[in-house]
Structure 1
Amino acid sequence: MRRPIRMTLLFCAVMAAAIPASASAATVGISDQQPSTFTNPLYAPLKLKVARVITPYDVLKEPAEKARLDEWIHNAKLAKQTMLISFEHSRVPSKYNKAPSVATYTKAIKAFKKKYGSKFDISPWNEVNVCQAKGRQEGQPAKICKSATGPKLVAQYYSAARSVFKGRKIVALDILDGSNVGGAVSYLRKFKKYVKGTPTYWGIHNYSDTNRGSYSRTSRLIKEIGNKRAQIWLTETGGQLKLRGKVYGEAKAAKALKCMFSMPRRYKQIKRLYIYQFNGADASNDFDAGLINPDNTLREGYTVVQKRTSATCRP
């Protein structure tokens, strides 16, 4: 049920101190592209500590993207967030569907470090196993998303990021589970053959599990990672109200968030949850997983996150 903003703020103030310390075994944060997230008065009561943003690897060459990132970083710093930068394809029309060479990628992230510093956690490439549809920028270039070529190239990006951002937490792989997790498992297995060293941090986007009330895909990916000392970060997770235009609604999204909070209790390696996303989308968008509505009223999922409410995943 929607509430007026003044009632919402009163509710948030009352509830802010009510989050039990043991409610989640993992650090909880947000993945959201909007700089206004951190200045919204509804954000602070959630007591989120980490924040993730997706940005082009060559962001410094794209003025609009750079301006947005500048504001995002500025606001996230003011909100005292530990920031995770997740690089992906260019937004330049002639390059968005092309994977950069390792040399080009390395040069670009060195320029990023020179501009912004190195006090970030880094994901070398976002959601590696999702391909771009023809004529659309969402997803990744074919050379990256295809398992025949992607794992080797992404392993090289990972090595480059480790070299450039020495001493920082570097996520080895950001991978989407998918309704059929077999493709993700295959990609991960091939990546392990090419990657140098033993990665400490791994990223999983487990929407298919949380929104289907399941643990099976997350379990298979963690098993394939194999290293019991590694940390698993759910770098995108949460409850979807709308996907590809199909509406699921607030109650189902809230249920998915409760399922999400049960994950770290079942899998002790899961140390971070990045909920995607804070801001809700307008009606014209074909995807929406926001915790608040576009008019700044609360959704059911907001209270789930604020209270860190956990429930066993069930269909």
Structure 2
Amino acid sequence: MRRLFRTALLVTALAAVALPATASASATVGVSDQQASTFTNPLFAPLKMKVARYIAPYDVATAGTEKANFEAWLKAAKAAHQTILISFEHSRDAGQYSKAPSVATYTKALKAFKKKYGSKFDVTPWNEVNVCQAKGRQEGQPSKICKSSTGAKLVAQYYSAALKVFKGRKVTAIDILDGSNVGGSVSYLRKFKKYVKGHPKYWGLHNYSDTNRGSYSRTSRLIKTIGDKKAQVWLTETGGQLRLRGVYAGGSEATAETKAATALKCMFSMPKRYKQITRLYVYQFNGAPASNDFDAGLINIDNTTRKGYAVVQKRQSATCHA
């Protein structure tokens, strides 16, 4: 692993590296990360990312929780000249995170957000709709949303509300995880399409299961289910996982780093295979401490780069092999 600040020349050289012929030039590359420090880290600029995504509580403008972190991130992302995508999800306030807001409450919250922060954002109405919260944990979504029987209609209504509040902005119709068994995701997507109004121009997918298994099958099924060849597909969360549920990919930290880099190369091949894919949001820039269940960072917590960092910087692409 290379050390940050070996010499000033190293950082300059990193920034000047041209994209190789194998790079994926058909999609805009960005980051999904919750830390304001991402944009001021000297290792960020050499990645030449143009879009950035933040996952915010739908009530962030009025609720106390998360506001300070979001505003710090927003200021830093703007200073770094990023096109910003806000992905809304459940409240983080105690007693509220497991509840799905009514459409009226959701609309009121988005109007408050627009009044406070403006409207120059791309928007995802609800983050990763088909992932349920485990008991007592905030990760994932309230059961009323994550279950397709009740969630598909509600998420379609959130989408309509977001379109009205952020009129003229790019709004993804849905944000859905592929999953190891993509059948449930396909079912949710089909039900959502029955309720959604009009012909959405933008769709959001999280295709971790494909990239980290070296596969195209799940991404292919979801794009086929979307069915509109004129629509754009954004991989709003994608990348290479080093650690999932506390377990390192391949069984060790060193093996995990190599596997994550391979997954990122697979990710960069996606826009070549599917021309509808126009954006890639790499999750995430910063690595996580070993105590965290999940880690997909491009750098370590001590500011050393991982193998995946060079893959993203050079936009290295390789065919996915299951």
How does the TM-score come out when normalised to structure 2?
Answer: 0.96
Q: Which residue of 1 aligns with 2:88?
A: 87
TM-score by length of 1: 0.98
Q: Which amino acid in structure 2 is aligned with residue 35 of structure 1?
A: A
Distance 1:208 1:90 in 2: 27
Deviations 1:173-211 (A, max 9, x none): 000000000000000000000000000000000000000
Could you say which residue in structure 2 is the equivalent of 1:6?
Answer: 5
Q: Does 1:298 align with 2:297?
A: no
Deviations 1:13-40 (Å, cap 9, x if unpaired)?
2132323286221000000001110011
1:33 aligned residue: 34
1:157 maps to which residue? 158
Question: Equivalences for 1:256-295 in 2 at 5 Å?
Answer: 256-295=263-302
The 2-side partners of 1:177 and 1:154 are apart by 17
> SS at 1:93's partner residue?
coil
Name the CA distance, whole Å, in 2 between partners of 1:17 and 1:211: 29
What is the RMSD of the two structures over their aligned residues, measured on CA atoms? 1.1
Aligned twin of 2:43: 42
Deviations 1:226-268 (A, max 9, x none): 0000000000000000000110210000000000000000000
Out of 298, 306, 314, the residue aligned to residue 307 of structure 1 is: 314
3-state secondary structure, aligned to 1:189: helix
- Structure 1: 5+ residue runs without aligned partners? none
Is 2:148 the partner of 1:143?
Answer: no
* Cα displacement string for residues 72-131 of structure 1 (whole angstroms, at most 9, x for unaligned residues): 110000000000000000011111000000000000000000000000000000000000
Runs of 4+ in 1 over 3 A off after TM superposition: 8-12
Give the number of aligned pairs: 314
Kindly, what percent of the aligned residue pairs are identical? 75
SS of 1:287's equivalent? coil
User: Structure 1 residues 9 and 144, CA, compared in 2 at 3 Å: closer, same or farther?
Assistant: farther
Q: How does 1:1-315 map to 2 (within 5 A)?
A: 1=1, 3-7=2-6, 10-20=9-19, 23-24=23-24, 25-248=26-249, 249-315=256-322
Structure 2 residue runs without a partner (length 5+) = 250-255
Which residue type is aligned with residue 15 of structure 2?
A: A
The answer to whether the 8 A contact 1:8-1:297 is kept is: no
- Equivalent residue, structure 1, for 2:252: none
Separation in 1, partners of 2:102, 2:20:
45
Q: What amino acid is aligned across from residue 63 of structure 1 in structure 2?
A: G
